[in-house]
Structure 1
Amino acid sequence: MMKRNIAVVLFSSFALSACAKSSETNHKSSKPSPELQQKIQKLVEKTKKNMIFVEGGSYLMGDFGLVTPELEKMVPNSMAVKNPKGNTEKPSNQPFSPGADNKTLHKVTLSSFNMNAYKTTLEDFNTFTEATGQAASTDNKRYGSNIAHEVATGMAWQQAKEYCQWLGQQVGTPMDLPTEAQWEYVARNKGQYTLFATNTGKVEPKKNLWGLDQYDNYRHLHDLQTVANIPVIGQTPPNPLGFYDLVTNNYEWMNDWYDKDYYKHSPSNNPIGPKTGTEKVLRGTLAMGADNLMMADGFNIARSKALPIPNDESKSKYRLYSVRCVANIQQTIK
Structure 2
Amino acid sequence: MLNFIRMGILVLVVFFLSGCPSEGTAKPDGDIDSLASEMVGEVIQNLVFIEGGHFKMGDFGVIQNGRWLPYFPPSADEDVAHAVELSSFYLSKYEVSWREWDLYRLSVGKPIFFQGLDGKEERAAFDQDADSLYYINKPARVEWQEAKDFCLWVGQLTGHSFELPTSAQWEFAARNRGSKAWLYPTHDGQPTPNDQQKHMQGCDAWTGICPVGQRYPPNPLGLYDMAGNAKEWVEDWFSPTYYRESEGVKNPTGPSEGKEKVLRSTGLGSLDFSFTITKAPLIPQDGILVRAGFRCAVQSSEPIR
TM-score interval (norm. to shorter) = 0.7 to 0.9
Structure 1 residues 200 and 92, CA gap change in structure 2 (3 angstroms): farther
C-alpha distance in structure 2 between counterparts of 1:129 and 1:67, whole Å: 50
Q: Deviations over 1:39-68 (max 9, x none)?
A: 112212211210000001000111011479
1:233 correspondence with 2:212: yes
Kept in 1: contact 2:62–2:68 (CA 8 A): yes
Q: Which structure shows the higher helix fraction?
A: 1
Unpaired runs of 5+ residues, structure 1, are: 1-33, 69-90
- For residues 91-130 of structure 1, what are the structure 2 equivalents within 5 Å? 93-97=68-72, 98-130=74-106
C-alpha distance in structure 2 between counterparts of 1:256 and 1:179, whole Å: 6
Instruction: Give the corresponding residue for 1:170.
Output: 157
Q: Which structure shows the higher strand fraction?
A: 2
AA at the equivalent of 2:295: R
1:49 pairs, out of 3, 23, 45, with: 45
C-alpha distance in structure 2 between counterparts of 1:275 and 1:144, whole Å: 38
Kept in 2: contact 1:102–1:301 (CA 8 A): no
AA at the equivalent of 1:260: P
Unpaired runs of 5+ residues, structure 2, are: 1-29, 116-122
Instruction: Give the corresponding residue for 2:9.
Output: none
C-alpha distance in structure 2 between counterparts of 1:189 and 1:257, whole Å: 24
AA at the equivalent of 2:162: M
Report how far residue 100 of structure 1 moved: 3.3
2:173 pairs, out of 175, 186, 195, with: 186
Helix, strand or coil for the counterpart of 1:107?
Answer: strand
Cα RMSD, aligned residues only: 2.7
Kept in 1: contact 2:141–2:293 (CA 8 A): yes
C-alpha distance in structure 2 between counterparts of 1:57 and 1:263, whole Å: 18
Helix, strand or coil for the counterpart of 2:83?
Answer: strand
Report how far residue 143 of structure 1 moved: 8.8
Kept in 1: contact 2:162–2:298 (CA 8 A): yes
Kept in 2: contact 1:165–1:175 (CA 8 A): yes
Provide runs of 4+ in structure 1 moved above 6 Å. none
C-alpha distance in structure 1 between counterparts of 2:105 and 2:54, whole Å: 37
1:36 pairs, out of 28, 32, 38, with: 32
Q: Deviations over 1:4-51 (max 9, x none)?
A: xxxxxxxxxxxxxxxxxxxxxxxxxxxxxx711221122122112100
AA at the equivalent of 2:276: A
Kept in 1: contact 2:47–2:90 (CA 8 A): yes
C-alpha distance in structure 2 between counterparts of 1:180 and 1:123, whole Å: 25
C-alpha distance in structure 1 between counterparts of 2:279 and 2:151, whole Å: 19
Count of matched residue positions in the alignment of Structure 1 and Structure 2: 257
C-alpha distance in structure 2 between counterparts of 1:106 and 1:228, whole Å: 33
Instruction: Give the corresponding residue for 2:24.
Output: none
Q: TM-score, normalised by structure 2?
A: 0.76
Structure 1 residues 261 and 153, CA gap change in structure 2 (3 angstroms): same
1:328 correspondence with 2:280: no
Instruction: Give the corresponding residue for 1:218.
Output: 202
AA at the equivalent of 2:241: D
1:262 correspondence with 2:242: yes
C-alpha distance in structure 2 between counterparts of 1:253 and 1:313, whole Å: 20
Kept in 1: contact 2:57–2:82 (CA 8 A): yes
AA at the equivalent of 1:283: R
C-alpha distance in structure 2 between counterparts of 1:324 and 1:195, whole Å: 21
Q: Deviations over 1:262-289 (max 9, x none)?
A: 0111151000011110000000022x5x
- For residues 19-98 of structure 1, what are the structure 2 equivalents within 5 Å? 35-66=31-62, 93-97=68-72, 98=74
